[in-house]
Amino acid sequence: MNNCDDKCPGSQAGQTIGPDGCPVPVSIDLKGVNFDFDKATLRPDAVTILNEAAEILKRYPELKVEVAGHTDQCGKDAYNQKLSERRARAAYDYLTSNGVDAARLSGPNGYGESRPLEDLGQAFPACKSEKNRRTELNVQN
C-alpha cells in the first residue's frame, strides 16, 4: 500500500492489514462459565474455559473485558445480588492469578437475576436454569 493512501499509518507489525491500511478486526469469542445451584465455586469445566480465556487475553493485550456475574431467578433479590458478585469475583480472581492484568478487567460486577438468558418467570423451573447461573466475559473494546 502506498503510504499516502494508508488510513492507519500507526498499524503495528504482525497485525493483519486490510486494503485501506487498517488492522482487520479480530473476532474474539470469550466464553463465560456456569455454576452449580447456589454456588460460586469454579467447576472443572469452568477452569478449562477460563484457562482458554486467559490465553486469548494474553495474546491480545489491547482487549479489555468486563467480568459479569449472574444468577437464576430463585431466591431473594439481595441474596442473588451477593451471589452474582461472588461468582464474578471467582472468575476475576482466577484470571488475575493466571497472568491477566487486573487493569484490563472491568469489575467484578454482579447483576443478580436482572439479566437472564432464559426467562422462566417465577415458576419453580427457573431454579433449574443453569444458563442463568453464569459469569460472562464481555469484551469492552
∠ CA 13-137-17, rounded to 5° = 20
Q: Which residues contact 41 (CB under 8 A, 6 or more apart)?
A: 35, 90
**66 and 92 share a domain?**
yes
pTM: 0.78
- Over residues 72-108, the pLDDT tens digits come to 988 899 999 999 999 999 999 999 999 999 999 999 9
**16 and 63 share a domain?**
no
pLDDT value for 116: 87
The CA distances from residue 38 to 6, 35, 67, 130, in Å, are 54, 8, 19, 11
- Over residues 13-28, the pLDDT tens digits come to 666 666 676 766 555 6
**15 and 52 share a domain?**
no
**49 and 74 share a domain?**
yes
**21 and 62 share a domain?**
no
pLDDT value for 118: 79
Are 9 and 3 in contact, with CB atoms under 8 Å apart? yes
**7 and 37 share a domain?**
no
Write out the residue range of the structural domain in which residue 12 sits: 1-27
Max Cα distance, the chain (Å): 64
Are 95 and 53 in contact, with CB atoms under 8 Å apart? yes
**2 and 20 share a domain?**
yes
pLDDT value for 114: 93
Number of domains in the chain: 2
**51 and 104 share a domain?**
yes
The CA distances from residue 118 to 66, 109, 114, in Å, are 21, 20, 11
pLDDT value for 4: 60
The grid coordinates of residue 62 equal 489491547
